[in-house]
Structure 1
């Protein structure tokens, strides 16, 4: 059975927020305070901290990405300690499954609340330190398990998915939707991705590497899912801009200039930067873009209500859009085309409204013409303009590799698939005297070992995606975007954003399933 993104969000909310309340209700009764306080988020945490005599600022610390996991579990550990649950296994159960243990404590008649003044006194500073270390260790272990196998937070850093997902949308990403990927780089600092906070530097060592394995999931990647994945080209990265395409920088600046400018990093698969895009092509699909429109297996692909598209507007003299109008309708001015027509980036519904305005004589989708090659160095995959003169709006067709698919080895196919053969599937590939050799043996064909996917951003003219760096191997898939738990306007992680001029929390997006945000 396939689970929808919204269903996964509901399951997570049930486990993380609803089930603990059942036990908390009875635990509050035992503590002698009104049980209904347990039903109110935030307020129930306030009273737990009051009952355990812990600092109230712990509540604010829960909002800190990643560290919030630790503080939340730490609060739970302190509360069960006030019911006498101080043994190792009791603390471990609380850290891993508080929603179950709260119910047990609440409904078990023998477990009663002990105010801090009536608790068994700590015997010496060593025991106090050990208890704090144990509690912190349990919290870190529990948070790591949740983050690795079930669900992880992710922040939209840029506008490539505008306006479906907005810059500074905070998402939960389901690892179980496609099956959790087991760690491939196991020796790492918990709860951080690839860079240490504050001090910088690598958060892992690649001296120990495990092969790719994935647990069974609730479903498989489906066409048009919004997916978080490790971006394939990030096996080599630049320290001054770790999310940028190193290979594009080398093409534009030259290898020597790039290496002289910044430190060069190498990264294993699961420590590459995370990207979020829409999966528009599945293994074995034939994808093509014609005048900006996606085609999959010869059929025109879906468009989405909030997807942003560039339009050219032909207008009469005196046409004017006020700054308030453009801001309220999220219209971005992109300049003019060769004929002097205004180019605006906006959603489809907005374009329909613009077409009805006085002095607008024509409106159409703005695309790069077939055969146009961007001279800025923003070359499309496979960066072979002589053989494949494609651009972002007129691209393909090409076939996405599927596990078990066999191709002939020749110059045309190698331009498309050599990186997959050599880098992603770890084969030794050589060309000698006009003949091809795989792992030392002559070969005329190749059969793929993995499935691959084609990812594209909804904001097609502002997205670094598969059109520029190619296929996403299955071992790079992290999880499925589930729901937004926080969203606010302001600058993104990548700097000032033209899409987030209004500051403040976007209340209408909080706790919305990703599926609902696409309607």
Structure 2
């Protein structure tokens, strides 16, 4: 915490230097005492008071990005008060990212002209404040996400728009605090949306609750090689099936945690092989009437048709009962002898359906390293210490962080911890709490807006689907309509 505060103070001090260098002549021409110009925070307070801005805006100064926005507003106030208020001046100011004020300060003769304070309350400021408060909410409280892949079906569907709480598991303060608002890591292609040179130390506030086994969690993808800063790595969402200290393994596609079979839940999906004779499977009916999207036609031979479909056990039974021409429908489980490529860790001979046993490291735990487990823990040691251990014999290592094991509910169509390993606790983003919108779109052509369909049963529901608040949306819309069309007039 202290390191984070120190970094923030240094940044505020650096901002103050930039502010003073670019505006000292404006202060002098305004007959403000020279000593007042150089005092951090107080010099901003003077401008807020001078230009009739709310004094509480001073709090924006203590958040790196909002402090930059606050400085820009006050710099524009200064420019206007010295006659620099034409469209040309404003365009030059924004195109130069504020550097234009240095040109005015050092190279132009400026004369102070008092402006009416009432003119300072532009409508645009209200819009700007709304953006700032939205950004603060987005960064520090609740962040919206959209589900882009099917790895969490059928719990979360492609096209679900969810809200993720950043405070349930403890608010992680921004590590890369300077970025374009409402962007994550890239703008277009590989153009980064953040300044990677500025990097704050990791700090997380105490959590409201700890991550429990089977919680759905949003986290930063640990193996994202395109972004080195933790909070700018790609966002993933999976179910936490293993917490620190757990022992997990998978047999015949069934997960065991601490030697106990996982609790059965209806929405878990796996790959099923289906064989029909004489007549192909009615895929259109399956997709339209049963909300099943992941259907793959394998081939046809001697009037027999073969398919692979991602299904829950309940829907597998429904399909079997619906179609009389089905010869068999069974889970597609890889044999134990099959070694799947890119499975974690390498060279262990595991696959998605036969995996482990694997121990999940816990903070403070002392691990005895040997030739058998060095491939598992060397990544952790490299992450925590920045070095690798070549000769593990007779060496112990004390784990510095908690780690988690994540899996998708769509077990046979999920790129998860089985393939890339553990999630460190500093990569945790937050807890999904709400589905505020759900759109069923064509997955091959997602931008074909005419094909979009609203999933009304999922809109304004909790993640577990137990509670729906759609009626509140209609109630609010009704009240707002009455106010807008009748009372406001």
SS of 1:372 mapped into structure 2 = coil
Cα separation, 1, equivalents of 2:364 and 2:467: 34
The aligned residue for residue 343 of structure 2 is: 380
The aligned residue for residue 381 of structure 2 is: 421
TM-score (normalised: structure 2): 0.66
Cα separation, 2, equivalents of 1:508 and 1:124: 55
The answer on whether the counterparts of 2:369 and 2:392 sit within 8 Å (CA) in structure 1 is no
Q: CA deviation at 1:324?
A: 3.1
Specify which of 200, 205, 213 is matched with residue 195 of structure 2.
205
The aligned residue for residue 148 of structure 2 is: 157
Specify which of 111, 114, 136 is matched with residue 145 of structure 1.
136
Cα separation, 1, equivalents of 2:145 and 2:331: 32
- Render the CA deviation track for 1:343-382: whole Å, top value 9, x for unaligned: 32222211112233424344321111112124xxx42111
Q: CA deviation at 1:231?
A: 0.5
Taking structure 1 as reference, are residues 380 and 127 closer, same or farther at Cα in structure 2, changes over 3 Å only?
Answer: farther
TM-score (normalised: structure 1): 0.62
SS of 1:417 mapped into structure 2 = helix
Aligned residues: 356
The aligned residue for residue 488 of structure 1 is: 439
Q: Report which structure shows greater RCO (CA 8 Å, sep ≥6).
A: 1
Taking structure 1 as reference, are residues 125 and 199 closer, same or farther at Cα in structure 2, changes over 3 Å only?
Answer: farther
Taking structure 1 as reference, are residues 488 and 161 closer, same or farther at Cα in structure 2, changes over 3 Å only?
Answer: same
Specify which of 265, 272, 286 is matched with residue 326 of structure 1.
286
SS of 1:445 mapped into structure 2 = strand
The aligned residue for residue 190 of structure 1 is: 181
- Render the CA deviation track for 1:90-148: whole Å, top value 9, x for unaligned: 77899xxxxxxxxxxxxxxxxxxxxxxxxxxxx96997567467545533432232122
Specify which of 159, 164, 182 is matched with residue 168 of structure 1.
159
The aligned residue for residue 511 of structure 1 is: 460
Q: Which runs of 4+ in 1 moved over 6 A?
A: 90-94, 337-340
Cα separation, 1, equivalents of 2:299 and 2:361: 37
The answer on whether the counterparts of 1:330 and 1:346 sit within 8 Å (CA) in structure 2 is no
Q: CA deviation at 1:473?
A: 0.4
- Render the CA deviation track for 1:71-91: whole Å, top value 9, x for unaligned: xxxxxxxxxxxxxxx851477
The aligned residue for residue 370 of structure 2 is: 410
SS of 1:485 mapped into structure 2 = strand
Cα separation, 2, equivalents of 1:90 and 1:446: 49
* Equivalent residues in 2 for 1:26-175, closer than 5 Å: 87-89=53-55, 128=119, 131=122, 134-135=125-126, 138-175=129-166
Task: Indicate the structure (1 or 2) with the bigger Cα radius of gyration.
Answer: 2
The aligned residue for residue 447 of structure 1 is: 398
What root-mean-square deviation, in Å, do the aligned CA atoms of Structure 1 and Structure 2 show?
A: 3.2
Unaligned runs of 5+ in 2: 1-51, 61-113, 469-489
Specify which of 331, 345, 357 is matched with residue 365 of structure 1.
331
Cα separation, 2, equivalents of 1:218 and 1:369: 43
The aligned residue for residue 268 of structure 2 is: 307
Taking structure 1 as reference, are residues 200 and 136 closer, same or farther at Cα in structure 2, changes over 3 Å only?
Answer: farther
- Render the CA deviation track for 1:158-177: whole Å, top value 9, x for unaligned: 11111211111110001111
Q: CA deviation at 1:504?
A: 1.7
Matched, 1:345 2:304: no
Cα separation, 2, equivalents of 1:365 and 1:191: 42
